[in-house]
Amino acid sequence: MRLIFIGDVIGKAGRRAVREYLPELREAFKPDLVVVNGENAAGGFGITEKIFDELQDSGADVITLGNHAFDQREAMVFIERTDNLLRPVNYPAGTPGKGAGVFTTQGGQQVLVMNVMGLVMMNPLDDPFAAVERELSACPMGVGCDAVIIDMHCEATSEKMAMGHFADGRASLVVGTHTHIPTADHHIFPGGTAFQTDAGMTASYDSIIGMDKEEPLNRFLRKIPSGRMIPALGDPTMCGVAVETDNKTGLALNISPIRMGGPLQAVLPDF
């Protein structure tokens, strides 16, 4: 099976990159499932139903969120009628929406996709490891599904790596989001789980983690906010990860970063 994960889409520039590059990538790589993190898609903060539909129309099969999941208040309503929009699975009971789902590919394969949020330097939610354990136990790879993708949305690289090792051998891919910078550590763990600490952002890299440089610089230099953070509008890059799995086990055979457009060195999967 071929899987694609696209990192945090930020504002108009990020959405433009998805519109321009994801159809091309789908045509070239022929993925069975595409997961896109869209938690910054609406002006850098959250997601709207219109933008959710736009990402789907561009080729996203499943859209994950994170700490900005409900910054746009309408998300609390439309997430309830949208099976393929996932907020962190470790939100407390009663939070609108769901954090995991099993999705059927065109070939009839079943993929468990999970969004989970870390705790280090993040909002205090339920234990992410216990939440992931519940989902993996309820739908084990090779029994309840053919592949597993975990979007680990958190600040600390150590917490992302810990989740990767925690799920090693039980997931096809564990990939980090939230810190917006693509890491160079894509590899397959000993148990067969593909891992990358951060997929990177889909946004303009002529920015400070996707935001126009003026306001973040002002806050660093003067320590006083002078306005709202606004997503940068420069030439965007679409960043992500591609994984090929063994159809019998669901474990990873290959992993490659994805970088298309903008100033970063282009990388496409070659398997």
Across 115-139, average pLDDT: 96
pLDDT at 146: 98
pTM tops 0.95 = yes
- The predicted-structure confidence for 4-59, as pLDDT tens digits, reads as follows 999 999 999 999 999 999 999 999 999 999 999 999 999 999 999 999 999 999 99
pLDDT at 224: 87
- The predicted-structure confidence for 46-97, as pLDDT tens digits, reads as follows 999 999 999 999 999 999 999 999 999 999 999 999 999 999 999 999 999 9
Beta bridge partners of 180: none
Euclidean distance between CA atoms 120 and 143, whole angstroms: 32
68 counts as catalytic: yes
Across 231-257, average pLDDT: 97
What contacts 211, CB < 8 A, 6 or more positions away? 10, 44, 229, 230, 231, 232
Give me the CATH code for the 2-260 domain, please: 3.60.21.10
DSSP letter at 182 equals: -
Look over the chain and give the mean of its residue pLDDT values, rounded to a whole number.
97
pLDDT at 226: 86
* Domain chopping of the chain, boundaries: 2-260
Report whether pLDDT(270) > 90.
Answer: yes
- The predicted-structure confidence for 225-237, as pLDDT tens digits, reads as follows 888 999 999 999 9
- At CB < 8 A and 24+ separation, what contacts does 125-129 make? 125/88, 125/90, 125/91, 125/92, 126/90, 126/91, 126/92, 127/90, 128/88, 128/90, 128/152, 128/154, 128/159, 128/163, 129/162, 129/163, 129/166
- The predicted-structure confidence for 149-205, as pLDDT tens digits, reads as follows 999 999 999 999 999 999 999 999 999 999 999 999 999 999 999 999 999 999 999
pLDDT at 158: 97
Tokens (6 digits) for 24: 């091309």
Coil, strand, or helix at residue 48? coil
DSSP letter at 68 equals: T
Euclidean distance between CA atoms 167 and 48, whole angstroms: 31
Confidence of residue 258 (pLDDT cuts 50, 70, 90): very high
The beta-strand segments (E) located in the chain are 2-6, 33-37, 62-64, 85-86, 100-104, 110-117, 147-153, 173-177, 187-188, 194-196, 203-204, 236-245, 252-260
Tokens (6 digits) for 194: 């593909």
Euclidean distance between CA atoms 34 and 75, whole angstroms: 21
Question: Would you tell me how many other CB atoms lie within 10 Å of the CB of residue 217?
Answer: 12
